[in-house]
Amino acid sequence: MVGLAPATGYGAVIEYGGTNAITTPVTGIRYASVTSASTIPVRTMGSWGIDYATGDSVTNWLEVEQEWGGVYDPQSGWVQYHPKPKTMAERIKEIIAARNAPAFITNRKALDRPHDIRELRARETLCRVIGEEKYRRFLVQGHVTARAKSGLVYQIFPGHGITSVYDKGKMVERLCVVLRGDFPPTDSLIMRYLMILNNEENFRSYAIKHHVPQSLWPENLEQIVEDAKKNSRPKTLAEIYSDIKTGKHARIGEVAAHMREAA
Amino acid sequence: MSMTIEVNPLNGSNIRNQVKIPDSLQLLPDGERPKKNQHLFRIMTAKDGDKRVVWDNRDLDQIADAKAMFDACIEEGLVPYRVDFNGKVTSEVMDEFDPDAEEVIFLPVSKKLGLVAGG
């Protein structure tokens, strides 16, 4: 090796850019056609060393990482260094790592610790009102749900947040009721929660209704699916053949099933 | 010096109704919990957040003062909700003072105050 014996886990010491690299080629991974240390991963480098094979002094040596292999060219005496090809397992690992989501999940609706003493007191009261378990959920989710006597479920947000009304899991109304004055946000939530539980009609009499965003799915989706099931019929052999020809059906099992039905 | 609680402080108005806290009752400092025989009023105010007033249910004078304060709060338009034994507020509004109620929450939701409105 040249100048410096390689440490465990690292590769050859090579010379670059010096005259000895061309005039005294030796076999083995010793010399490289690189002219700059920046083109390959380098562990250590120096400007002077001893070639143990020939006893000559060399300049501009460097020690490369072990995973760098090389091909010796007997005509020039140079070693063409190139990265060791990655195995399939390594490549798959890299692809999976690149596609992984960040290792932490944040809930943007979670509430921060308030700085206002009034809000702290209000949250303490809320904990008393709804119980500790619901209160912990409120801190994470940012809202409280209340089932009224009518069976409707109200999703209540602090401050001037609009209250969403759900019937069997589907949003049916958005109601806005506020507590006027400089009350902390959670006090407003407590007010709505208790009004809904105590006198739902009274609460609704104050409310202003807002637009309910339409779902992307049609309202009668279930009916459409049921109708489609009723109207479906087994395909004819000609249709199956046509599908296979156009690449729509590639599964032999389905073809076989249709053939059995036809038989 | 007697303490008071401001109720119905409407934004932008000069209305400042006061509920006097009787001398025998105490304001509970932040972070403290009521003692074993102490019952509690939580009064929602915009100025100070929820004020907590405690009274001893073994002391007849304090019970009488608590009843007087309860009535004064109702007169000012606050609505009392009782906290149940399991730690949750019941959905029923209290019609009259009950010395057995461990905790009462007063909310400014009556029509008299006019603080609740559509937004």
State pLDDT tens for residues A103-141. Answer: 555 555 667 777 788 888 888 888 888 888 899 889 888
Q: Is the pLDDT of residue B49 over 60?
A: yes
d(C-alpha A218, C-alpha A226), whole Å: 14
Search chain B and give the residue with CA nearest A132.
B87
ipTM reported for the complex surpasses 0.90: no
Domain-located, residue A231: yes
Q: What is the pLDDT of residue B32?
A: 83
Q: Do A121 and A204 lie in a common domain?
A: yes
d(CA A118, CA A233): 67
Whether residues A203 and A256 share a domain: the answer is: no
Are residues A77 and A15 located together in one domain of the fold? Answer: yes
Is A199 part of any domain? yes
| Chain B residues within 8 A of A206 when measuring between CB atoms | 116-118
In a domain, A16, yes or no: yes
pLDDT in tens, A18-69: 444 433 333 333 444 444 444 455 555 566 665 555 666 666 555 555 444 5
Domain boundary among A28, A57, A83: A83
Residue A72 and residue A79 in contact, taking contact as beta carbons nearer than 8 Å: yes
Give the orientation angle of helix A117-130 with respect to helix A132-141, to 10 degrees.
130
Nearest by Cα to A193 from B112, B23, B1, B109: B109
- Domain annotation covers residue A93: no
Do A70 and A137 lie in a common domain? no
Residue A68 lies in a domain: yes
A83, A103, A137 - which closes a domain:
A83
Residues A121 and A206 in one domain: yes
Together in a domain, A182 and A225: no
From the list B81, B83, B115, the residue facing A179 with the nearest CB is B115
Do A204 and A227 fall into the same domain? no
Asked if residue A122 and residue A205 are part of one domain, the reply reads: yes
- Contacts of residue A51, Cβ cutoff 8 Å, sequence gap at least 6: A2, A3, A15, A20, A24, A26, A30, A57, A58
Total-model pTM? 0.59
Q: Is A41 on the interface with B (CB under 8 A)?
A: no
Of A83, A98, A127, which closes a domain?
A: A83
Length of chain A equals 263
Q: Which domain holds residue A192?
A: 117-210
**Rounded Cα gap, residues A103 and A100, in angstroms:** 8
Number of structural domains in chain A: 3
CA distance B74 to chain A (A): 16
B12 touches chain A (CB under 8 A): no
